[in-house]
């Protein structure tokens, strides 16, 4: 089965000094303007606003790539929900290159301590009977009769190279309406993150290595799920 990417969101958790937002945005834009070819946006957010609200936003002109910077995190987002047409293997190389450029700025230019990492990826597969495939894989025969929609969530904990990891995945049916037509899709959402109870110290190389391993792990998991 082919899985096409709706969106990918990588989150670098860090305590950021955003006093000079214009300078920070300029440094990041100069390092990543091949991807973020739109104009940086500085949002007029009050200092006492919630720390997770973005203060700086970088975007690509095609709106597929975004970078949101708040006081406590840097998010690099790929999104193509309207017409997903690429698999994770096709996006991996450029995604990691850009992520590495962002991480280098955060660590070397902004002098920020990155202590936690998170990664969410959502993919869809075109399948005529998504409810049946979920029932066959996860539900004991006879438990459900004829559900129109179905969703399964699994959360487990593992260790990667001495990092304690939460891994969750959600498999669900999705019905997309196009005029009077309905398209049935199988949606698979993965969420991989270092646990919030532990704080680590990541450098640029270990940040990129984490996301590379996460992408490869998700790619293999998608193959083995169905």
- Structural domain spans, the chain: 4-225
pTM above 0.95, yes or no: no
Bridge partners, residue 210, by sequence? none
pLDDT tens-digit map of 16-45: 988 888 899 999 999 998 899 988 999 998
Edge-first strand order for the sheet with 56-59 is 41-42, 56-59, 65-69, 73-79, 4-14, 114-126, 181-194, 163-178, 151-160
pLDDT tens-digit map of 58-78: 999 988 999 999 999 999 999
57, 68 contact by CB (below 8 A): yes
Q: Which pLDDT value is given to residue 2?
A: 85
Rounded (10°) CA dihedral 202, 157, 89, 126: -150
Does position 128 have pLDDT exceeding 80, yes or no? no
- The stretch 3-15 carries a mean pLDDT of 94
CA distance 78 to 66: 7
């Amino acid at each position: 089965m082919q899985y096409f990417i709706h969106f990918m969101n990588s989150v670098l958790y860090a305590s950021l000094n955003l006093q000079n937002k214009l300078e920070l945005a300029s440094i990041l834009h100069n390092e990543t303007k091949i991807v973020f070819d739109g104009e940086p946006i500085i949002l007029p957010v009050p200092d006492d606003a919630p720390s997770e609200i973005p203060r700086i936003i970088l975007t690509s002109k095609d709106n597929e790539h975004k970078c949101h910077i708040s006081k406590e995190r840097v998010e690099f987002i790929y999104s193509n929900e309207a017409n997903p047409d690429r698999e994770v293997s096709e996006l991996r190389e450029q995604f990691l290159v850009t992520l590495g450029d962002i991480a280098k700025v955060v660590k070397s230019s902004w002098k920020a301590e990155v202590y936690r990492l998170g990664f969410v990826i959502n993919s869809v597969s075109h399948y005529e009977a998504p409810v049946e495939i979920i029932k066959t894989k996860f539900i004991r025969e006879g438990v459900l009769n004829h559900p129109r929609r179905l969703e399964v969530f699994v959360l487990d904990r593992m260790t990667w190279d001495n990092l304690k990891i939460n891994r969750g995945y959600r498999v669900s049916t999705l019905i997309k309406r196009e005029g009077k037509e309905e398209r049935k899709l199988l949606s698979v959402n993965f969420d991989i993150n270092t646990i919030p109870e532990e704080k680590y110290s990541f450098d640029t190389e270990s940040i990129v290595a984490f996301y590379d391993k996460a992408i490869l792990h998700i790619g293999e998991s998608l193959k083995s799920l169905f």
